[in-house]
Amino acid sequence: MEAISILITGGTGSFGNAAVEYLLPSNDIKKIIIFSRDEFKQNQMQKKFGNFPGGKMRFFIGDVRDPVRLSQAMKGVDLVIHAAAMKQVPTCEYNPLEAVKTNILGSQNVISAAIARKVPKVILLSSDKAVLPINLYGKTKAVAESLFIDANGWGDKKTIFSVVRYGNILASRGSVIDEFRTQSEKGDILFITDKRMTRFWWVLYDAVEFVMCASWAMTGGEIYVPSIQAASLKTLAGHFCSYCRVREEGIRPGEKLHEILIASDEVRRTTNDTWAYVICPENEFFEHPSCGVGLKVEDDFSYCSNDEKRQMTSEQLEVLFERTGIDVKGGRK
């Protein structure tokens, strides 16, 4: 297989850093282009990865709101991973138009630039919050998903688009673990919104590996969903800091008690392909041979973070913390 060039929008974030670390040693990768608007973080990445043998790294200062700059950056690219987004739920709630500009209009710009440059494959990183959304972040991601799926019917169809949808990355930048770490350093109280609240949790390395598997399998229009488990914030806090007390602050604007990764109305077109759940597109103009390879899930299939069968045991949660490099008594190892 010929080596490929990959562009990652929002590439200075947690996913981008992990993806570069994962991909750089591979002989199948010719070039990795980091596209982001943060020059300081790009400089940090250059210091960390720029001297890797082979000169694979490239850095583009740019914003997904700027279609011209996106088009410049995509020249000669084989795969785009669209990770750029405003992700913080409260920030999106209080800055709705800015979230629309980045998460929706920015996604449309990525689509248009990729088609113009005839990029073979483009993947959107989405979220469980896009399923039956009640907050603006989730709504913008739901629209971005629809844009990406519909884009498969545009132009000469030289570019195919798919979506990867997953839950929270444990210990990613800005995550609840960061909050717990700061709180435990100041005292013995961890503040959580609601003890009943549950979320899906995943390790960053697994997310990168899953996205790359999807990039190999995709034929256009699919939503790929991993099989991951969940835990309540109360359980997570207890494992992070065993000596800390937990205090509730109340649910913030736009937050759900529980998240869903596959909606009940999506179940009828979902298959279990062993390594992933695949939600097939409904549009008649698609040809999607990858869908239906696995077995169709049962009609009563449920994928909610409060499902009893999806709750992690103490041992499983400890393994997750260990793989992330987090000391269960608080802080990183």
Q: Cβ contacts of residue 309 below 8 Å, gap of 6+?
A: none
Alpha-helical (H) ranges within 228-298 are 233-240
- Residue 18 Cα distances to 100, 124, 205, 311, 321, angstroms: 26, 17, 7, 26, 17
| Rounded Cα–Cα distance for residues 219 and 18 (Å) | 25
| Rounded Cα–Cα distance for residues 266 and 279 (Å) | 7
| Rounded Cα–Cα distance for residues 127 and 35 (Å) | 21
CA atoms within 13 A on the CB side of 293: 15
How many C-beta atoms surround the C-beta of residue 28 within 10 A? 10
Under a CB-based contact definition with an 8 Å cutoff, are residues 205 and 22 in contact?
yes
Active site (catalytic) residues: 129
| Rounded Cα–Cα distance for residues 202 and 207 (Å) | 7
